[in-house]
Chains A and B, each alone.
Chain A
Amino acid sequence: MDLEMNLNAPHSMGTTIIGVTYNGGVVLGADSRTSTGMYVANRASDKITQLTDNVYVCRSGSAADSQIVSDYVRYFLHQHTIQLGQSATSKVAANLIRLLSYNNKNMLETGLIVGGWDKYEGGKIYAIPLGGTLIEQPFAIGGSGSSYLYGFFDQAWKEGMTKDEAEQLVVKAVSLAIARDGASGGVVRTVIINSEGVTRNFYPGDKLQLWHEELEPQNSLLDLLNSSNSEPMNI
């Protein structure tokens, strides 16, 4: 067993990121774990980053690469908004991300999901995986944890959900991915974007539903032993 944790390994976001459209806007979701090799460098990161008032991006892959790409795009969008005289659309944001991802494909290692609301097209989700392909979808999943969610979404996704249904789906999905992906963990963050604005939500790890073989967290064994239906300690 390798006991030397490689603390100088590039900060990578083994991650779970999700973007979902509903009838009125989009819901973005992500876990909060950033790892350096086997060490969790940040257990409460915020992977859902603002690009404009109405467009956000979920970041996965290399933390550095995803941060620099979103910083550049935020900068470009700011200028674009000034020139345009009104809010940028989610399509423009997604295409700017695509340009950087595609033209630097040899150097970057980041998969992004752009989600936003604008008055022309309503809520939209765009996935930009490795390589710089741009693909508009009703929902998108990404990051290492997404491997465990393809089957889940095939079964659970439906068109025309309400805001609450969409958010519940996202929280459930991130939580399921965290349960199985070692590179995902921590809290579930969601961002809801619609015509009314932006809402950020926070679901701490201990408040999520328990899955298979997970147990109710306790303060101590002593509480278990002292409770009325205690199990005697077995030899």
Chain B
Amino acid sequence: MNFTASKQPENCLLGPESDSQRTLYPYVTGTSVVALKYKDGILMAADMGGSYGSTLRYKSVERMKPIGKHSLLGASGEISDFQEILKYLDELILYDNMWDDGNSLGPKEVHNYLTRVMYNRRNKFNPLWNSLVLGGVKKGEKYLGTVSMIGVNFEDNHVATGFGNHLARPILRQEWHENLSFEDGVKLLEKCMRVLLYRDRSAINKLQIAKITEEGMTISPPYSLKTYWEFSAFENPTQGAVGSW
């Protein structure tokens, strides 16, 4: 038995994998990230799962990290590529600090840098296999943007990656409004994360919510959401049609 998933079929025209200079497929992946703008800044949520194919292999992966003083980066997709991006950003912030000129990179600039990195890698057929969410506040201005592995980037009042696009954004389109309080923002994100927990196979019930405001970034300790299963329709669903599901 081979535990790797990288065997090509016999009739494949792709050539030997070792010749390739490109990332072919992800191994350890994170699922959705959801974020929204609220009164004081940005709220972002992500679970702590690192899946290895269909196995929920790692359950304490922090997929949201602070970048400099003003930004927060959340990532889904290949974790090793996310770790590499964090190293690139570390260097970027370091050089920025070395100017020692009182100025610091804001979220808009960091988002732009990431967009260039992701798009240029895509052009070389060697993508960083991630979908990124970049949020932050600088001088009172809130910013929330996203970049995908092919370089698609945009900003909005609420963004999500992966399954979050399909399950969370419709909820956010209905219920998001300008100047949400912290409590309402958190409850809205939790509503989204609960739906993702029910409906996304790679979601795990251990998440963190991060907040970034003018004052700085804080990230909650890992916690779990309560789920509801006691619908009467759930108790005996096949009573009227034995053998169905």
Contacts and interface: CB of A to CB of B under 8 A. Distances in A.
Interface of A: 12, 14, 60-61, 98, 102, 105-107, 109, 111, 127, 129-135, 137, 143-144, 147, 150, 181-183
A131 B84 CA distance: 12
Interface string B1-17: 11110100000000001
A129 B17 contact: no
Nearest to A12: B2
Contact of A105 (B3, B23, B57, B83): B23
A133 B80 contact: yes
A106 B61 contact: no
Contact of B17 (A107, A143, A144, A147): A107
A150 B3 contact: no
Interface in B54-68: 55, 57-58, 60-61
A102 B80 contact: yes
A133 B51 CA distance: 12
A130 B61 contact: no
A132 B80 CA distance: 6
Given A12-B2, A133-B27, A106 B60 contact: no
Q: Which of B26, B52, B57, B80 has the most CB of A within 10 A?
A: B80
B50 interface: yes
Contacts of B22: 106
A135 B20 contact: no
A70 B121 CA distance: 29
B79 interface: yes
8 contacts: A61-B4, A102-B83, A106-B24, A133-B27, A133-B50, A133-B80, A182-B1, A183-B1
Nearest to A131: B27
A183 B1 CA distance: 6
B15 to A, nearest CB: 12
Given A131-B28, A182-B1, A107 B80 contact: no
A109 B27 CA distance: 11
Interface in B62-85: 78-80, 83-84
A160 to B, nearest CB: 17
Nearest to A61: B4
A106 B24 CA distance: 7
